Structure 1
Amino acid sequence: MTVPGASHIPIWRTDGVVVTVLLHMGPVEFLYYWLHRALHHHYLYSRYHSHHHSSIVTEPITSVIHPFAEHIAYFVLFAIPMVTTVLIGSASLVSGFGYITYIDLMNNMGHCNFEFIPKWIFSIFPPLKYLMYTPSFHSLHHTQFRTNYSLFMPIYDYIYGTMDKSTDSLHEISLKREEDSPNVVHLTHLTTPNSIYHLHIGLASLASKPQMSQWYLWLMWPVTCWSMIITCIYGSAFIVERNTFGKLKLQSWAIPRYNIQYLFKRQREAISGLIEDAILEAEARGINGEELNNNGEVYIQRYPQLNVKVVDGSSLVVAIVLNSIPKETTQVLLGGCLSKVAYSIVSALCQREIQVSTIYKTEYEKLKLATKFGNNVVVSESYAEKIWLVGDGLSEEEQRKASKGTIFIPFSQFPPERVRSDCLYHYSPSMMAPISLQNLDSCENWLPRRVMSASRVAGIVHALEGWNLHECGQKMFDIGLVWEATLKHGFKPL
């Protein structure tokens, strides 16, 4: 079939948009209403529609779970406005793609089982209640079965007397739900502009895999740009994931800022304010523990009476790195920027009589002064050490100095860039989560499925053990105690 002029369809035509709206409000909604009622007749229901209603507690995916015959019927219905505008010559890209988007958006919204449409919208414009349904409206259909048959516009339920009497009250009750107060919050941030798609609220196909660049994400640059604008405007942390672990309720909050913004002083001040606001919000909600990727001592000093405990996970990072080093190791090389984690690792290794080499003399001098076992710290001459412990700032040039077969073990939050194909790179400090930790669907940055960063694990263990202490700034826990407690609660090393 050839449609004359299809290659010259305009972006916008007012008459086409009006026709699409009227045809949906009229024939589509009307025919769907009676088709839906017919599908609830015991003969058709048992053979077709019961498949859709097997989901009493609906999810967005429920919206497209139908037998094939129903899909054909819905396709014919939804084609009415689009085919009509084409036949009368008033079609446009906005009317076509806009209508498809409207159908998908409303269909998913109605099955999301989460009420978020505010009551004031219907107070400002009362007729809207006849033209737009809500998630609670359609949830009643899945629980009561014989009410609320309409597609997206409840007007026909009002006309034919099938509107559930509890629709309005359920909508109000659903909006008054109690705020969920977690026991532990993992405070993190976005990494790259494309990282928004890797979140649990983004694309499931990407969230379930370690973060990596995908060529087709470049095609979505308009959406990416808008997401960047929104994150810049949005003034507080937002929830990206909820988990449960036994009696603990866990949440991950993301600061709406990217890695590169941490490099600029002006941005760092704004980010510091966002982190402070998140900590104070956690305090107001009675949260027991909050994990930070970076030291949070400044916030503790500013608010010494905080009940919420700030944990950066440094002790567990040290424990993971130490237990990642092969037992027969006698010497390691330390690279990257020095931090309290680096000093703690060096101190522990020197106590074990393991020689620690550095790339530069300045690092050697700092470490020698900072540890009681400075005799075991030397400057590397040949870079022949097979174990490299690396932090942030390890350059490509420095990596190329390593000998073939070197094992890179990072102690930083983010792993180094994999420059050498002839060397082995460990994941950044992390552990495998227990099976009992639920709803862990998305990957955390570059880590595999069900693998959690050390800072995130540390906060959970902190809450499980009931440790009433902060771990931030220069404070650290006993390394052995933290490691044993972590293993006791089912977390496993990689």
Structure 2
Amino acid sequence: MGAAFLSSWPWDNLGFFKYVLYGPLVGKALAGRAWEAASPDRWLCLLLALFALRALTYQLWSSYSNMLFLTRRRRIVRDGVDFEQIDKEWDWDNFLILQITMAATALYVFPSLRHLPGWNTGGLAVAAVLHVAATEPLFYAAHRAFHGARLFARYHALHHSNMVPTPFTGMDEVPDFVFLAHVVDVMQSMHVPFVMRTFASTPFAVRAFLLPLWPIALLFMFMVWAWSKTFVISYYHLRGKLHQIWAVPRYGFHYFLPFAKDGINDQIELAILRADRMGVKVVSLAALNKNEALNGGGTLFVNKHPNLRVRVVHGNTLTAAVILNEIPKGTTEVFMTGATSKLGRAIALYLCRKKIRVMMMTLSTERFQKIQKEAAAEDQQYLVQVTKFQSAEQCKTWIVGKWLSPREQRWAPPGTHFHQFVVPPILGFRRDCTYGKLAAMRLPKDARGLGSCEFSLERGVVHACHAGGVVHFLEGYAHHEVGAIDIDRIDVVWEAALKHGIRPV
């Protein structure tokens, strides 16, 4: 206990509040107008500026090294930086607090030091030479030892696992699986490793420190809208295969602009064709990239390019399975909004096979009857069209595929649980009800290199459509999973996910 205490920083347990330790110095600098040449406290400006420059250098290097669209062919170590390593580096700047504290203490104890020049070019050159001479041999020796050990361990593991080692080529390798995502909004665009790696390693939430950066992120949005193509965001390894997350440079609101539809489909199509040329096995479409009104759940691309070798997957089969397996055993009746959507149709047809009464909220009798006719004759009675929320005031299981206002939620009886597949998810206005999250699953424990969270999900958890693509790849399915959901495959895909260690949250 004592050794651990002596080896840790005194401010280790303060978390973000450790920066309060700078308060007295900042306060004195402001009170003494330290930025003025005649101020006796001008040395404080130098100390604080050195800290800011050191922090900026760290941030810029971290951002550059995580810009995989620029650096992936130049990386020495192929493994990604995982959550454990990021947590270890979370308090990288503890030594800066120590340095500025010691410097300030020395200047107070020895006032004569304040009259030394703040800059000396000759002294800087000498210090640089001595620093390089002293540290370069040690650095390269440590570098060779570290990477030599890692390479030896890698080939040792390959030898004993009867795998054939491939030439070590850094990150210049073809991914086997790609999850094709898009940006949600301006705030969420900052939740990527090349902006702030530590922030990206936690579930997304709007934080106060993001607000000053919002104008910069907005400018970046216009830039990528005008010039960018699909690019790599992050990656991880699973079962010895490389999985990458690519981002279509479009934001959520773009998908609802009529004039932007063709441009978005062009971006998705180019990404699929690029993946096909590279030899990617599966491309899984995220969220709005598979919107029915946009491209028919991916059917546009497979119909246009019938000879694709890459499999295009919307992942909705597993999404439906996740929602269905959340419904408690013994449920006899559910109420559903968004009932005639792709997911709503599949869920309704699956439940009616289980003899569960489904109140399908829709004003379109034609769309309801089309779905009802798909059910077996003996099961059609379990599908019921309703047009008002009052019809569900005795039903405690709501499946939400369309946004619900507080007024609409009010019709649910106390104790209702809201299962959701609506994007964005509804807000929990009712304290006497419970609200499920969007369908998601936890990746297997042997996934390596996970270092960023998928939107607001926990570490190691991905959206069900992402997990669905992973299952498609691991199972080696030869078909495209696009368009309408095959009801007969819901249980098949669910069992396959569990078999591969992909678990419900």
TM-score where L is the length of structure 1: 0.66
Equivalent position to 1:191, from 184, 193, 198: 184
SS at match of 2:438: coil
- CA change 1:337–1:216 in 2 (3 A) is farther
CA offset digits 1:257-297 (Å, max 9, x no partner): 11111110122221111111111111111000000021111
Tell me how far 1:349 sits from its aligned partner: 0.7
SS at match of 1:382: helix
Tell me how far 1:309 sits from its aligned partner: 0.3
In structure 1, the residue matched to 2:268 is: 275
Judge conservation of contact 2:340–2:371 (CA < 8 Å) in 1: no
Percent of aligned pairs sharing the same letter? 29
Unaligned residue ranges in structure 1 (runs of 5+): 11-19, 25-56, 80-85, 92-135, 146-175
In structure 2, the residue matched to 1:367 is: 368
Distance 1:67 1:255 in 2: 37
Equivalent position to 2:218, from 214, 225, 247: 225
Judge conservation of contact 1:413–1:429 (CA < 8 Å) in 2: no
- CA change 1:329–1:338 in 2 (3 A) is same
- CA change 1:392–1:200 in 2 (3 A) is farther
Tell me how far 1:141 sits from its aligned partner: 6.6
CA offset digits 1:408-463 (Å, max 9, x no partner): 11134542233323221111111122211122232212222221111111111111
- CA change 1:488–1:396 in 2 (3 A) is same
Equivalent position to 1:430, from 420, 440, 448: 440
Task: Tell me the number of residue pairs that the alignment of Structure 1 and Structure 2 aligns.
Answer: 376
Distance 1:319 1:330 in 2: 18
- CA change 1:72–1:258 in 2 (3 A) is same
Higher RCO by CA contacts (8 Å cutoff, separation 6 or greater): 2
CA offset digits 1:110-166 (Å, max 9, x no partner): xxxxxxxxxxxxxxxxxxxxxxxxxx9997474369xxxxxxxxxxxxxxxxxxxxx
Query: Match of 1:190, as an amino acid?
Result: V
Query: Match of 1:317, as an amino acid?
Result: T
In structure 2, the residue matched to 1:411 is: 421
SS at match of 2:250: coil
- CA change 1:341–1:67 in 2 (3 A) is closer
The aligned runs of 1:71-86 (5 Å cut-off) are 72=99
Distance 2:99 2:170 in 1: 38
Judge conservation of contact 1:187–1:292 (CA < 8 Å) in 2: yes
Query: Match of 2:367, as an amino acid?
Result: K
Distance 1:436 1:318 in 2: 25
Judge conservation of contact 2:333–2:356 (CA < 8 Å) in 1: yes
Tell me how far 1:3 sits from its aligned partner: 7.4
- CA change 1:7–1:322 in 2 (3 A) is same
Distance 1:410 1:262 in 2: 21
For the pair 1:143 / 2:143, whether they are aligned, the reply is: yes
In structure 2, the residue matched to 1:239 is: 232
The aligned runs of 1:12-51 (5 Å cut-off) are none
Distance 2:485 2:337 in 1: 23
For the pair 1:382 / 2:388, whether they are aligned, the reply is: no
SS at match of 2:224: helix
Distance 1:312 1:328 in 2: 30
Tell me how far 1:318 sits from its aligned partner: 1.5
SS at match of 1:478: helix
For the pair 1:292 / 2:285, whether they are aligned, the reply is: yes
Distance 2:181 2:232 in 1: 10
TM-score where L is the length of structure 2: 0.64
- CA change 1:75–1:273 in 2 (3 A) is farther
Distance 1:191 1:69 in 2: 36
Judge conservation of contact 2:284–2:314 (CA < 8 Å) in 1: yes
Distance 1:258 1:196 in 2: 9
- CA change 1:87–1:282 in 2 (3 A) is farther
SS at match of 1:444: coil
Distance 1:195 1:229 in 2: 15
Q: CA RMSD in A?
A: 4.2
For the pair 1:479 / 2:478, whether they are aligned, the reply is: no
Distance 2:263 2:248 in 1: 11
In structure 1, the residue matched to 2:129 is: none
Query: Match of 1:243, as an amino acid?
Result: Y
Distance 2:344 2:141 in 1: 59
- Of the structure 1 ranges 478-487 and 367-376, higher mean CA displacement relative to structure 2 is found in 367-376
Distance 1:74 1:209 in 2: 30
- Of the structure 1 ranges 220-229 and 242-251, higher mean CA displacement relative to structure 2 is found in 220-229
The aligned runs of 1:244-263 (5 Å cut-off) are 244-263=237-256
In structure 2, the residue matched to 1:46 is: none
Distance 1:420 1:268 in 2: 36
SS at match of 2:187: helix
- CA change 1:68–1:191 in 2 (3 A) is closer
Tell me how far 1:327 sits from its aligned partner: 0.9
Distance 1:213 1:3 in 2: 31
In structure 1, the residue matched to 2:133 is: none
